Structure 1
Amino acid sequence: MRILLVGAGLSCAVIGRRLAEAGHDCRIIDSRPHIAGNCHTERDGETGVQMHVYGPHIFHTDDAEVWDYVNGFAEFLPYQNRVKSTTQGAVYSLPINLLTINQFFGKTMRPDEARDFIAAQADLTIEDPQNFEEQALRLVGRDLYEAFFKGYTEKQWGCSPTELPASILKRLPVRFNYDDNYFFHRFQGMPKDGYTQMIAAILDHPRITVELETPYAPDMADAADHVFWSGPLDGYFGYELGRLGYRTLDFERFTHDGDYQGCAVMNYGDREVPYTRITEHKHFSPWETHQGSVCYREYSRAAQPEDTPYYPIRLVEEKALLEDYIAAAEAVEGVTFVGRLGTYRYLDMDVTIREALDTAATVLRCIDEGRPVPAFVVSPR
């Protein structure tokens, strides 16, 4: 079959590779001048630092098959994300752990003492948290909430935490030991030569052709037996029903001679600091040595039509519009919507790869059995 895949990021690269290995001809197009989508990495010409151009991407997973898959295309070196936060005039470690609690409250508690102390801080009158703020108050109490979550969340999402679902905060752990590894997955690391080199290796197959700076045009589908769309779901339909909401990021790049902040990620919890965090990119490759340093200040805001979409908002209004676009997509033949943008969901890299592998397997079964390929292998709902 002749397959057209729109987008040269993780989703289409993995799907295209599997289909190419099965004997199908895959044409991958991307409107950008590079492959790898938002996990694109490149060397900074001034300092030699490996840059995460669209913000940091840290690989972590419990999925052994996905871990083996990425290690088949790149050498991964150990990396653990150890985030710090500057708030109320001091620096703390995240996620909230025993060191954070003891330092913040000026105590020397043991784990069981800290657990009881935080339980006393928590607002247990909130029996069924209905929003982010209520979930935080029930989980850690007002002091920790206002120091680490309230201002940061207002900046990140551009709205009051009372407007956000409680489920967002359920992903953030509180630890009653001194473990400051941000993630708890058993496989964690970074590709030694960057994500772009990894995806280039995935795309290196004689049945795959890649065309960059090539926007999708509807007549391209006429030459294909099936299309995979990893662009914005609403964008496929020309936004005819309205635009789904996204947050985007602005990056303020600056350089420093030496070590600017001593860590890869420094959050800023105070509302009056306009940026959410500063990332120092040489620390994402701790096996390298660089005198110069490149940092990004990150500012979050509502995405405009010309912006790169990062985080789907998925509040009430967007979910209603999403249902309309799902119905429109399911009425289209010969197109499968994939990935973060195509299914309007926030996805970590390992989940993106997992879903791409599963999508490719489903598609190959459909081809073998003569069944139509579904619009969504993974539901956006």
Structure 2
Amino acid sequence: MEANMYLCVGAGFSCAVIARKLAEAGKKVTVIDSRSHIAGNCFTERDAETDVMVHTYGPHIFHTDDKEVWDYVNSWASFKPYINRVKTTSQGKVFSLPINLHTINQYFDKTLSPSEAKEFINSIADKSIGEPVTFEEQAMKFVGKDLYEAFFKGYTQKQWGLNPSELPASILKRLPVRFNYDDNYFNHQYQGMPEDGYTKIVENILDHENIEVKLELPYEKEMLEAYEHVFYSGPLDSYFDFKHGHLSYRTLDFKQEIHDGDYQGTAVMNYGDVEVPYTRITEHKYFSPWESHDKTVIYREYSRLCEADDIPYYPIRIVGGKDMLDKYVAEAKLTKKVSFIGRLGTYRYLDMDVTIREALDAAEITLSKINNNEPVPALFVNP
């Protein structure tokens, strides 16, 4: 075994960041991925027919309050300003999300001021709910029955394949209600899009003489013997051969269409009515608004339960459904020479900035442990 050899399983942001930090510290790192490309689900590429930069596995908008992470990604790519403005079609009309003063006035056919809107929403909110436990309770307590059913209920049922009463309240806590006309979907200080796409960022991070990248190479347990330590960003349950069962994920199917001109006039259009089979339509040229294209690429996005050969996207953390995860976490903590990282390795929904922050922290902890001749933790964050 060559000294200081480390293996990173997965060529997305988690492993790329860790690999780079280790490589810069003089460690030899191999990065493998079962797919034919780097960058994981953040993979972007130019569409051959239209030249539009396409987010192959669905759109990713970079947003964060973490200045160190913002500076980090900007050191690898040129970012352009980008504000995510989401629209939704519900009950035959188009509204702005997140719910803001315009949404409230439009939906209820009113001309309320901010203070009047607060009072009005308070009057229709369900005050019988104490501390919300479920998604449905959270929405009902926030905005009441009408807005919940128009904007959250149907979309959520399609997205998660579950009744909102089965999902935790924490999912909805990410969605603000605003009593002004601000339709910026995110509240974060730093927001933008990489000018040349996300694949180029990961490519630049991995471009180091101490890093070797091998694609179309799945991880095999026998590989563990050849390395001092493995960083595993694949599915947690898969590593243990599903011995306690399959953790639940949603996967996404995309139906791509190419049209002349402009299709919907915005990057993201949600569809809140449960009768519409797709959750949203994304128009990808709008994710690069500084470019000009004669044709356009859209994705109709369908969500369903993840099966054996599907790409897992979102972990389904249902209320009271922790038992299986707890068993896998216990297994992980007993595992030697392996660290479980990232969205799949820790079975959590993670935005890109959090993924990068955790990878930076994991690399720092790893190098400290190596220098002190101490074991590297199996988990840097408790799932």
Q: TM-score, normalised by structure 2?
A: 0.98
C-alpha distance in structure 1 between counterparts of 2:237 and 2:379, whole Å: 14
Q: Confirm or deny that 1:111 pairs with 2:114.
A: yes
Query: Structure 2 stretches of 5 or more lacking a match?
Result: none
Q: Confirm or deny that 1:216 pairs with 2:219.
A: yes
C-alpha distance in structure 2 between counterparts of 1:156 and 1:320, whole Å: 23
Deviations 1:337-365 (A, max 9, x none): 00000000000000000000000000000
Q: CA deviation at 1:317?
A: 6.4
C-alpha distance in structure 1 between counterparts of 2:171 and 2:343, whole Å: 17
Asked if the contact 2:9–2:232 (Cα under 8 Å) also holds between the matched residues in 1, the reply is yes
C-alpha distance in structure 2 between counterparts of 1:233 and 1:317, whole Å: 19
Q: CA deviation at 1:60?
A: 0.2
Query: Structure 1 stretches of 5 or more lacking a match?
Result: none
Deviates more, 1:164-173 or 1:274-283: 164-173
Deviations 1:103-138 (A, max 9, x none): 111111110011111111111121222311121111
C-alpha distance in structure 2 between counterparts of 1:269 and 1:168, whole Å: 17
Q: In structure 1, what is the equivalent of residue 241 of structure 2?
A: 238
Asked if the contact 1:83–1:182 (Cα under 8 Å) also holds between the matched residues in 2, the reply is yes
Asked if the contact 2:77–2:201 (Cα under 8 Å) also holds between the matched residues in 1, the reply is yes
Label 1:239 to 1:149 Cα distance change in 2 as closer, same or farther (>3 A).
same
Q: In structure 1, what is the equivalent of residue 56 of structure 2?
A: 53
Selected match of 1:161 from 150, 159, 164: 164
Deviates more, 1:130-139 or 1:351-360: 130-139
Q: 1:132-143, aligned counterparts within 5 Å?
A: 132-143=135-146
Q: In structure 2, what is the equivalent of residue 28 of structure 1?
A: 31
| Alignment-mate amino acid for residue 20 of structure 1 | A
| Alignment-mate amino acid for residue 123 of structure 1 | D
Q: In structure 1, what is the equivalent of residue 92 of structure 2?
A: 89
Q: In structure 2, what is the equivalent of residue 369 of structure 1?
A: 372
Selected match of 2:174 from 171, 175, 184: 171
Q: Confirm or deny that 1:206 pairs with 2:190.
A: no
Asked if the contact 1:245–1:318 (Cα under 8 Å) also holds between the matched residues in 2, the reply is no
Q: 1:152-301, aligned counterparts within 5 Å?
A: 152-301=155-304
Asked if the contact 1:95–1:180 (Cα under 8 Å) also holds between the matched residues in 2, the reply is yes
Asked if the contact 1:244–1:318 (Cα under 8 Å) also holds between the matched residues in 2, the reply is no
| Alignment-mate amino acid for residue 77 of structure 1 | K
Q: 1:117-132, aligned counterparts within 5 Å?
A: 117-132=120-135
Deviations 1:116-171 (A, max 9, x none): 11111111121222311121111101110110001001101111111111221121
Q: In structure 2, what is the equivalent of residue 37 of structure 1?
A: 40
Kindly tell me the number of residue pairs found equivalent between the two proteins. 380
C-alpha distance in structure 2 between counterparts of 1:67 and 1:135, whole Å: 31
Deviations 1:310-337 (A, max 9, x none): 0000225642111111111111110000
Q: Confirm or deny that 1:347 pairs with 2:354.
A: no
Deviates more, 1:219-228 or 1:267-276: 219-228
Is the partner of 2:322 in helix, strand or coil? helix
Q: CA deviation at 1:20?
A: 0.2
Selected match of 2:332 from 329, 332, 356: 329
Selected match of 2:77 from 43, 50, 74: 74
| Alignment-mate amino acid for residue 351 of structure 1 | V
C-alpha distance in structure 2 between counterparts of 1:206 and 1:105, whole Å: 61
Report the aligned-residue RMSD: 0.8
Is the partner of 1:141 in helix, strand or coil? helix
| Alignment-mate amino acid for residue 288 of structure 2 | S
Identity %: 66
C-alpha distance in structure 1 between counterparts of 2:138 and 2:229, whole Å: 44
After superposing on structure 2, the runs of 4+ consecutive aligned residues of structure 1 that deviate more than 4 Å are none
C-alpha distance in structure 2 between counterparts of 1:365 and 1:91, whole Å: 53
| Alignment-mate amino acid for residue 266 of structure 1 | M
Q: In structure 2, what is the equivalent of residue 302 of structure 1?
A: 305
C-alpha distance in structure 2 between counterparts of 1:131 and 1:346, whole Å: 17
Deviations 1:242-298 (A, max 9, x none): 110000101011111011000000000001001100000000000000010000001
Q: CA deviation at 1:193?
A: 0.2
Q: 1:306-321, aligned counterparts within 5 Å?
A: 306-316=309-319, 318-321=321-324
C-alpha distance in structure 2 between counterparts of 1:238 and 1:24, whole Å: 30
C-alpha distance in structure 2 between counterparts of 1:200 and 1:243, whole Å: 32
C-alpha distance in structure 1 between counterparts of 2:358 and 2:291, whole Å: 32
C-alpha distance in structure 2 between counterparts of 1:183 and 1:320, whole Å: 33
Is the partner of 2:223 in helix, strand or coil? helix
Asked if the contact 2:167–2:317 (Cα under 8 Å) also holds between the matched residues in 1, the reply is no
Q: Confirm or deny that 1:148 pairs with 2:151.
A: yes
C-alpha distance in structure 2 between counterparts of 1:260 and 1:62, whole Å: 33
C-alpha distance in structure 2 between counterparts of 1:253 and 1:318, whole Å: 34
Asked if the contact 2:134–2:319 (Cα under 8 Å) also holds between the matched residues in 1, the reply is no
